[in-house]
Structure 1
Amino acid sequence: MSAELGPGGRPVGETWSRSPVYGSRGMAATAHPLASQVALDILKEGGSAVDAAIAANAALGLMEPTGNGIGGDIFVIVWDPKTRQLHGYNGSGRSPQGQTLAQLQSRIDAMKTRGELPGDFRGIPSHGPLPVSVPGTVDGWFALHERFGSLPMNQVLAPAIDYARSGFPVSPVIAYYFSRSWDFFSRIYADSPHLDNIRDTWFKGGQSPQPGDILTNTDLADTLETIALEGRDAFYSGSLARQMAAYFDDMDGGLAYEDLAVHQGEWVAPGSVHYRGYDLYELPPNGQGFAALQMLSILKNVDLSQWSRGSAEVFHYMVEAKRLAFEDVARYYADPAFAPAPLAGLLSDDYGKQRFALIDPRRASAEFGPGEPKLESEGDTTYLTVADKDGMMVSLIQSNYRGMGSGMVPDGLGFMFQDRGELFSLEQGHANVYAPGKRPFQTIIPAFLMKDGEPVMSFGLMGGSMQPQGHVQILVNMLDFGMNVQEAGDAARFLHDGGREPTSVDGDPLGTLYLEPGVPAQTVERLRAMGHKVEIDASGVRFGGYQAIKVDREKGSYAGATEMRKDGTVVAW
């Protein structure tokens, strides 16, 4: 007979959590210890928080290619202490200009005919050239650096280049995701030359890297060095762009040189909702950040603190708020250049009250639909946050989307293209329907918390639809139940999966409520009795990856938190 060993004791705080990390002159929280150290080194060399965030992101693209890289997109919120403003950046790329919806559908049908997709497959495949959209990350780095950088870009990218040449030890969680990715790609591309580039870049000898193995990527080192010396144009209109375009030349679908050459990211205004005396800021569509705002707009109509945090009532209200918000996500959230959404109406207090009134406090509703807000004028990932001595704070999220991405690894460049285009709909008339030169619906969202016009916390939680659900759970933990910045992330989470989707490939209207084992057993049974379809998941995989930096202006210090479900650390000075 055996028993699981539980947590040890602690002199302060919850037994299932750790202490936040404190610092006063700078801080970085990322999903990899070495990337956090890279950011801190850049801060100590005189770099700004933006310099450090770019350096860490470049390092993560090397060290955590299972979640991000220069083949993907980037979204950022920056608090600038000089102008005392929040700045938002949407660095998402667009679909190929030369491919119509009809051509895309024809190419998907041809994949079914060849047996590359099941005959009943719906949507856009996750692998191959068809889901590839223009990578926006490199352009985003230079846009941010031009406005907020202090050090030259070659100095900012130097640590990642050095690690790519000399090697770095693989960490345990990333090794786990490497194994999953290799299992997938070695099966999907078993008889394809595409597997050669994937294997030669990350899986030499056909083996998945193990924890502690020293991994190098000299192709990526050369690519980053070209970017560092020649600038963003090398990637979008120079030698690297020509290599990327040549890679797709003989494929049925994929990017062209012209798609890269015209790419441009966009500075955007973050939107906000007031909750318990604080203002949560998120970026507008084509991302899903406003889903978190809609959830809070609904939840502000009930005092969750009247119950215990582990109660069925608190979970029930948050899950039903999620389901309501995501119905609107599926209907309205898309590239605003093609389908403007009624954003002011979606975030209004009146609309939040209308949606809240649909929640039955005793039972899960069988099905919700999207609402009709008033028309008023007006989405595997890595998240990191950095703060510097001057008070600048950066909330940055970057991703290749599903797994390591599309499986498309351009010859000799050391990175994989994202498969973000998988998130388009193929339904004519849908806001998020595929079109040439359009940005797909995005899951990746950075967040920022303010109070009375002052910065409070830069934070994020990676992982598909978990992200807005996670943002809300973090804030409920802190603002309704008084948890500190680390406890709020270590507490057991839920993920609700189901309902309508922006892809038009809809799930079960009720959906499944996944809970971590830390949720009390009596709560689980009560939720089931209320009509929720509950499953317990102890893997940690579904529930995201949290990082946060909280500022205490009165004390002059930062408090940082990192995700126990990942390999990351917080470092400070």
Structure 2
Amino acid sequence: MRDFHFPGRSPVLAENGVCATSHPLAAKAAVQVLEDGGNAMDAAIAGAVLLGICEPQMTGIGGDCFVLFKPAGSEQIKALNGSGRAPAAASAAALRERGLDAVPLYSAEAVTIPTAVDAFCRLNTDWGKLDLARVLAPAIHYAEAGVPVAPRVAFDWPEAAKALSGHGLKHYMPWGEPPAVGTMFRAPGQAEVLRKIAAQGREGFYTGEVAEDMVAALQDAGGVHTLEDFAAAESFYSEPVSGEYKGVELVEHAPNGQGATAILMLKILSHFDIAGMEPFGAKRAHIEAEAAKLAYDARNRFIADPDHTNRLEHMMSDATAAALAAKIDPDKAMDSPEAVSESVHKDTIYITVVDKDRMAVSLIYSIYHGFGSGIASERFGVLFQNRGAGFTLKEGHPNELQGGKRPMHTIIPGMLRREGRVIMPFGVMGGAYQPNGHARFVSNMVDFGMEPQDAFDAPRSFSDNGVMNVEKGYDSAVRDELTAMGHKVAVPDGPIGGSQGILLREDGVLEGASDPRKDGIALGY
């Protein structure tokens, strides 16, 4: 239990259902769906789509999603991959011929076909209780009526808006400058699109005038996208991957998500006495940073489109973890292993819902960089992700850009299981940080006995691209020690990531937790 002398958040306890996410309006909408007879899947979709209006710099219907879920009455965890493919005519060779060594971030070449809408429609049909019109009603309402810009959203907007161009500026910077806290943001074009989806399902988005508007915008920006590419968008079910850490099983989405990286990182950490270290001391932060460097290097070598990922079992094996752990000097930082492919950022939303029947949903949904590619369609204002920047242009690499392939994805939903029982859906936003964040969260709970809210609140560090970002929550003496070990230490401008989770307690009560690094809350009934 937290010390009530100090500022902080209490966990949210409820019996019938809980939602935890990064914006209060989305949490409220999700709980109302539960109260109206919907299940956790209905509520998660309702909240997620609304987050595209509440946090447009983070996500939207022009993006992708990944979902883990546990059906009611079962402990089996299922996975749905809602990531999109590169257009059929995309080619790494063509970009190399132009002298490029990476996919340009804010370009039509970086736009893969958004597949979250197909995923939401499929999940609603296969697992939901309410019709799509009821599920999308909150997002339609707020897209039309408007949402006051929340503090964290206002903090992100100025930097993220630098990506916007053309129609993107018209739809997401109508004021001519970044909005202040409380400014009303409206998206009437998206309300119209959502009405079409509510009435027609996926066809309302991937065919007809909405698809024509999207394709026209992308072709005008130099893209090779076609109506056929959009019509062919398809999410699919897959088997999750998992690994154990001291009696707790971490379940992750399979590639092309990077979840296996978190499993490998925990396996590396298991070779060290993390529990014997100071939880917020330099030694733990150092070992974690070194483990992350090695795990992320493995990710960059192996993770790609599911049909092209190779040696996944090798990446997740105990022998590989032991060999990598042996490379770590407990007193000295190594040089960062060279990244083969990656352009990372922190702009993602996460939502988790558990209902009265204990269906549990862990859903993550993103347009990648802040405001994605910066390109929006003219009429409806659909803003496109730049997930294609997750490809490499290196010839012969498993993650090489090719038409019809899915890129390596940073977004990963998570779940925890103990002795075969699902105990917690959770997620950590933050682009590249996410596997590190999953490992840190699990370690906080397992090694140091933290409750979920405390585990989310705790300070974070992350070694990324040669710089070790250490949040202000760490003592300055820790930063000095890390510098002495050879880390290039910096205090990041903003906090590292954000997170939410719901603990399914053994006493039957649900315990929701939400990271104060975002505007959101946990809410139950």
For the pair 1:331 / 2:283, whether they are aligned, the reply is no
Amino acid at match of 1:421: G
Q: TM-score, normalised by structure 1?
A: 0.87
- Give the CA deviation at 1:26: 0.5
Q: Quickly say closer, same or farther: Cα 1:299–1:13, change in 2 above 3 A.
A: farther
- Cα separation, 2, equivalents of 1:251 and 1:458: 39
Q: 361, 385, 395: which is aligned to 2:362?
A: 395
- Cα separation, 1, equivalents of 2:371 and 2:401: 22
* Residue pairs, 1:65-84, within 5 angstroms: 65-84=56-75
For the pair 1:12 / 2:35, whether they are aligned, the reply is no
Amino acid at match of 2:416: L
- Cα separation, 1, equivalents of 2:110 and 2:338: 28
Task: Map Cα deviations across residues 216-273 of structure 1 (whole Å, 9 max, x no partner).
Answer: 2110100000000011122123332233223334442242111111121121111111
Amino acid at match of 1:12: D
- Cα separation, 2, equivalents of 1:369 and 1:416: 32
- Give the CA deviation at 1:304: 0.8
Partner of 1:546: 499
Check conservation: 1:170, 1:215, Cα contact below 8 A. Answer: yes
For the pair 1:34 / 2:25, whether they are aligned, the reply is yes
* Residue pairs, 1:129-168, within 5 angstroms: 129-168=108-147
Partner of 1:114: none
Partner of 1:221: 191
- Give the CA deviation at 1:83: 3.7
SS in 2 for 1:518: coil
- Give the CA deviation at 1:523: 2.1
Partner of 2:51: 60
Partner of 1:456: 423
- Cα separation, 2, equivalents of 1:351 and 1:181: 38
- Give the CA deviation at 1:203: 1.8
Q: 309, 313, 317: which is aligned to 1:344?
A: 313
Worse-matched range after superposition: 300-309 or 444-453: 300-309
Check conservation: 1:335, 1:440, Cα contact below 8 A. Answer: yes
SS in 2 for 1:460: strand
- Give the CA deviation at 1:366: 3.2
- Cα separation, 2, equivalents of 1:144 and 1:550: 23
- Cα separation, 1, equivalents of 2:182 and 2:228: 41
Partner of 2:469: 514
Worse-matched range after superposition: 524-533 or 223-232: 524-533
Partner of 1:103: 94
Q: 155, 171, 182: which is aligned to 1:176?
A: 155
Partner of 1:284: 254
- Cα separation, 2, equivalents of 1:223 and 1:532: 48
- Give the CA deviation at 1:200: 2.6
Check conservation: 1:131, 1:420, Cα contact below 8 A. Answer: yes
Check conservation: 1:14, 1:487, Cα contact below 8 A. Answer: no
- Cα separation, 2, equivalents of 1:165 and 1:258: 30
- Cα separation, 1, equivalents of 2:431 and 2:413: 12
- Cα separation, 1, equivalents of 2:338 and 2:492: 28
SS in 2 for 1:395: strand
Partner of 1:430: 397
Task: Map Cα deviations across residues 14-53 of structure 1 (whole Å, 9 max, x no partner).
Answer: 8463211111100111111101100011000000100000
SS in 2 for 1:492: coil
Check conservation: 1:16, 1:490, Cα contact below 8 A. Answer: no
- Give the CA deviation at 1:492: 0.7
For the pair 1:528 / 2:495, whether they are aligned, the reply is no
- Cα separation, 1, equivalents of 2:73 and 2:21: 25
User: Greater Rg, structure 1 or structure 2?
Assistant: 1
For the pair 1:565 / 2:517, whether they are aligned, the reply is yes
Q: TM-score, normalised by structure 2?
A: 0.95
Partner of 2:437: 470
Q: Quickly say closer, same or farther: Cα 1:14–1:105, change in 2 above 3 A.
A: farther
Aligned residues: 519
Q: Quickly say closer, same or farther: Cα 1:246–1:535, change in 2 above 3 A.
A: closer
Amino acid at match of 1:18: R
SS in 1 for 2:77: strand
SS in 1 for 2:439: helix
Check conservation: 2:40, 2:353, Cα contact below 8 A. Answer: yes
- Cα separation, 2, equivalents of 1:473 and 1:386: 22
- Cα separation, 2, equivalents of 1:365 and 1:11: 37
- Give the CA deviation at 1:400: 0.4
Worse-matched range after superposition: 292-301 or 122-131: 122-131
SS in 2 for 1:130: helix
- Cα separation, 2, equivalents of 1:252 and 1:171: 34
Check conservation: 2:86, 2:402, Cα contact below 8 A. Answer: yes
SS in 1 for 2:20: strand
Root mean square deviation of aligned Cα: 1.8
- Cα separation, 2, equivalents of 1:161 and 1:136: 19
Q: Quickly say closer, same or farther: Cα 1:127–1:478, change in 2 above 3 A.
A: same
Q: Quickly say closer, same or farther: Cα 1:366–1:408, change in 2 above 3 A.
A: closer
Check conservation: 1:29, 1:547, Cα contact below 8 A. Answer: yes
Task: Map Cα deviations across residues 148-180 of structure 1 (whole Å, 9 max, x no partner).
Answer: 100000010011101111122111111122222
Task: Map Cα deviations across residues 396-441 of structure 1 (whole Å, 9 max, x no partner).
Answer: 0000011111121112213201011012111111121111111111
Worse-matched range after superposition: 299-308 or 35-44: 299-308
Amino acid at match of 1:354: A
Amino acid at match of 1:359: I
Task: Map Cα deviations across residues 271-308 of structure 1 (whole Å, 9 max, x no partner).
Answer: 11111110001112111111100001111122211121
Q: Quickly say closer, same or farther: Cα 1:485–1:11, change in 2 above 3 A.
A: closer
Amino acid at match of 1:351: T
For the pair 1:264 / 2:234, whether they are aligned, the reply is yes
Partner of 1:508: none
Q: Quickly say closer, same or farther: Cα 1:218–1:538, change in 2 above 3 A.
A: closer
- Cα separation, 2, equivalents of 1:537 and 1:485: 24
- Cα separation, 2, equivalents of 1:563 and 1:524: 23
- Give the CA deviation at 1:100: 2.4
Structure 2 gap ranges (5+): 340-345
Check conservation: 1:199, 1:205, Cα contact below 8 A. Answer: no
Q: Quickly say closer, same or farther: Cα 1:334–1:513, change in 2 above 3 A.
A: same
Worse-matched range after superposition: 78-87 or 457-466: 78-87
Task: Map Cα deviations across residues 136-158 of structure 1 (whole Å, 9 max, x no partner).
Answer: 10001012112210000001001
- Cα separation, 1, equivalents of 2:196 and 2:439: 40
For the pair 1:409 / 2:376, whether they are aligned, the reply is yes
- Give the CA deviation at 1:536: 2.0
- Give the CA deviation at 1:537: 2.6
- Cα separation, 1, equivalents of 2:163 and 2:190: 22
Worse-matched range after superposition: 198-207 or 216-225: 198-207
Amino acid at match of 2:123: L
SS in 2 for 1:76: strand
Partner of 2:343: none
Amino acid at match of 1:468: P
Q: 454, 457, 463: which is aligned to 1:496?
A: 463
- Cα separation, 1, equivalents of 2:174 and 2:403: 37
